[in-house]
């Protein structure tokens, strides 16, 4: 009977082949990068407004859509990820909605017709709008007419990557742009960011932050009783700043090895902290850039020590309470923990209940024990390595060993650091990207499909009956006799 089982299984497979697969698409997902402030600036030389989509992804072609519907609800702004044929994209409930218009030439895979308006897209991730509110007002989606003449435009950036001849992968996000007319003035209006006006620059500033470009930020602080505004550069997650304490570029320092490094899709992150000690008769300067550069050198040496065993990884160290760089690496740990709210990621967090160097601001100083011979400050660290079994089991212990192998007195911290305590591990977080789940849109089969499936099923059933009948006849005629049956049929000697 094993043959019968195999034939029945084959028949069931044949029925499955005859059923046409339903169309499928990627489900809308939450943006894995927290939304940052929009860049909307006025360019006086061209008399245009420029909007930058900070979350552009790698793409083959780009489209920018404008909502032309009188009701704002007709143009959804949720982030979308889609993979399918152009025909399926044309039928998409959001991207294929008739309320959208393409600000440039129509795309073959999008329903939105071209729009002759006072705007145009600029690669890789910009939209420029003429400073002409009379032509833009017909696209105003605000509920009421504002007394100050401002308008709200709904814009969607669509990035497409071809997959073969008839399919595309799409990433898209929408934005509401609130614009207020410039007041009449006899002078030209020029908008410029403070750090740029002061001569500061960031590495990779020609790229959007979502593709690894760095951004400049103003940090207000008080140094020696005097208020100061520092310009520092940073990266948008999931990119991380390397080295962590690298200062902004200036005319005196026009180049840098600093960059925004993309974290792997699946990775292991280890958070740790340790105390660095220095002589009690020396003074700690929280505004010392040299101290931060010494910490970066320590991180670089730890990276070199861990690299042969764990492959490509990043070691980030920050000084707690620094006045020069307020960003702390444990902010990255908070971002990593947020992966448990993201689609398509599995998160495994291993907390250390005995961790004693908490980051709570009110109790920071009480956590640092001082004695008569030394004072101390806290260094926090995060090590990010590609996801692997060896990283999951051993990266935390190896990081502690790498730090303990360093000689603190060999670094220029702007004060003689004589000793660094053994690091305390606060957490190990394992992030694993899973397969993107497809959302099946099962539609009832048409009458033609039902007829096709019914006929095919009937033929399979008839074929199965014929095969089973043949097996029975074969057994009756002795083609499948056992050795015992053959012995019984033999004549006795």
Quick: pLDDT tens for 186-196.
444 444 567 87
Quick one: average pLDDT of 45-67? 83
What does DSSP assign to residue 478?
Answer: T
Stretch among 60-64, 221-225, 241-245, 328-332 having the lowest mean pLDDT:
221-225
CA–CA distance, 299 with 171 (Å, rounded to integer): 36
Quick: pLDDT tens for 224-253.
788 888 889 988 878 899 999 999 999 888
pLDDT confidence bin for 221, thresholds 50/70/90:
confident
Q: Is the pLDDT reported for residue 155 higher than 70?
A: yes
In this predicted structure, what is the pLDDT of residue 174? 84
In this predicted structure, what is the pLDDT of residue 51? 86
In this predicted structure, what is the pLDDT of residue 358? 58
In this predicted structure, what is the pLDDT of residue 98? 85
Are 34 and 187 in contact by the 8 Å Cβ rule? The answer is no
In this predicted structure, what is the pLDDT of residue 464? 62
Residue 462 pairs with which residues in a beta bridge?
none
375, containing H or E segment:
strand 374-386
Quick: pLDDT tens for 434-477.
754 333 333 344 444 444 445 555 555 556 656 555 655 555 44
In this predicted structure, what is the pLDDT of residue 401? 96
What are phi and psi for residue 279, nearest 5 degrees?
-60, 145
Q: Is the pLDDT reported for residue 406 higher than 60?
A: yes
168, containing H or E segment:
strand 167-179
Q: Is the pLDDT reported for residue 22 higher than 50?
A: no
Stretch among 150-154, 412-416, 422-426, 459-463 having the lowest mean pLDDT:
459-463
Most confident of 18-32, 66-80, 396-410, 471-485: 396-410
Stretch among 40-44, 65-69, 389-393 having the lowest mean pLDDT:
40-44
Instruction: Identify the residue whose tokens are 């908070």.
Output: 334
pLDDT confidence bin for 135, thresholds 50/70/90:
confident
Stretch among 156-170, 424-438, 462-476 having the lowest mean pLDDT:
462-476
Q: What does the block give as tokens for 131? A: 């400073």
Stretch among 25-34, 116-125, 199-208 having the lowest mean pLDDT:
25-34
Average pLDDT of the residues of the chain? 76
pLDDT confidence bin for 93, thresholds 50/70/90:
confident
Please, which residues have CB within 8 angstroms of residue 458's CB and are 6 or more apart in sequence? Answer: none
CA quadruple 139, 141, 142, 143: dihedral sign: positive
Q: Which residue has the higher pLDDT, 67 or 42?
A: 67
pLDDT confidence bin for 424, thresholds 50/70/90:
very high
Where are any strands of DSSP class E within 68-149?
Answer: 80-85, 100-102, 119-122, 126-130
Where are any strands of DSSP class E within 296-354?
Answer: 313-319, 345-351
Residue 226 pairs with which residues in a beta bridge?
223
pLDDT confidence bin for 37, thresholds 50/70/90:
very low
Q: What does the block give as tokens for 137? A: 């007002």
Most confident of 133-147, 202-216, 268-282, 371-385: 268-282
Quick one: average pLDDT of 75-88? 84
Quick: pLDDT tens for 330-389.
888 888 877 766 667 788 989 998 888 754 333 333 344 445 578 899 999 999 999 899
Are 445 and 3 in contact by the 8 Å Cβ rule? The answer is no
Q: Is the pLDDT reported for residue 142 higher than 80?
A: no
Stretch among 98-102, 185-189, 310-314, 384-388 having the lowest mean pLDDT:
185-189
In this predicted structure, what is the pLDDT of residue 34? 31
């Amino acid at each position: 009977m094993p043959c019968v089982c195999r034939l029945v299984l084959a028949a069931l497979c044949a029925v499955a082949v005859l059923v046409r697969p339903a169309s499928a698409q990627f489900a809308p997902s939450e943006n894995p990068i927290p939304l940052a402030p929009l860049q909307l600036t006025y360019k006086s030389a061209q008399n245009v407004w420029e909007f930058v989509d900070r979350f552009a992804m790698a793409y083959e072609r780009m489209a920018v859509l404008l909502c032309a519907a009188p009701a704002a609800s007709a143009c959804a702004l949720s982030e979308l990820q889609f993979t399918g044929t152009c025909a399926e994209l044309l039928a998409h409930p959001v991207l294929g909605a008739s309320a959208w218009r393409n600000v440039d030439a129509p795309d073959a895979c999008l329903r939105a017709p071209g729009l002759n308006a006072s705007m145009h897209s600029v690669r890789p991730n910009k939209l420029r709008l003429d400073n002409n509110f009379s032509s833009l007002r017909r696209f105003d989606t605000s509920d009421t007419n504002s007394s100050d003449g401002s308008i709200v435009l709904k814009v969607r950036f669509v990035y497409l990557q071809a997959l073969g001849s008839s399919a595309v992968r799409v990433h898209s996000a929408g934005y509401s742009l609130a614009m207020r007319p410039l007041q009449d003035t006899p002078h030209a209006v020029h908008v410029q960011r403070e750090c740029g006006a002061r001569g500061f620059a960031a590495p990779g500033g020609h790229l959007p932050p979502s593709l690894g470009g760095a951004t400049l930020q103003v940090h207000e602080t008080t140094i020696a009783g005097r208020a100061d505004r520092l310009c520092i550069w940073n990266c948008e997650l999931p990119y991380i700043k390397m080295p962590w304490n690298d200062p902004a570029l200036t005319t005196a320092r026009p180049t840098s090895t600093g960059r925004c490094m993309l974290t792997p899709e699946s990775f292991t992150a280890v958070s740790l902290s340790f105390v660095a000690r220095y002589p009690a008769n020396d003074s700690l300067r929280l505004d010392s850039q040299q101290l931060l550069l010494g910490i970066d050198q320590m991180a670089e040496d730890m990276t070199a020590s861990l690299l042969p065993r764990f492959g490509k990884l990043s070691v980030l160290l920050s000084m707690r309470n620094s006045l020069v760089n307020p960003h702390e690496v444990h902010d990255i740990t908070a971002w990593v923990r947020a992966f448990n709210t993201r689609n398509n990621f599995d998160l495994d967090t291993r907390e250390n209940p005995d961790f004693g160097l908490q980051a709570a601001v009110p109790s920071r100083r009480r956590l640092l024990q001082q004695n008569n011979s030394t004072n101390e400050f806290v260094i926090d660290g995060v090590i990010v390595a590609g996801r692997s079994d060896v990283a999951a089991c051993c990266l935390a212990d190896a990081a502690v060993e790498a730090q303990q192998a360093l000689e603190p007195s060999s670094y220029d911290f702007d004060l003689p650091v004589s000793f660094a305590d053994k690091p305390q591990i606060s957490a190990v977080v394992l992030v694993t990207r899973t397969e993107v789940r497809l959302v099946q849109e099962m539609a009832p089969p048409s009458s033609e499909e039902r007829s096709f499936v019914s006929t095919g099923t009937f033929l399979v059933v008839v074929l199965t009956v014929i095969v089973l009948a043949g097996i029975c006849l074969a057994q009756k005629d002795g083609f499948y006799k056992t050795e015992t049956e053959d012995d019984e049929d033999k004549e006795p000697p």
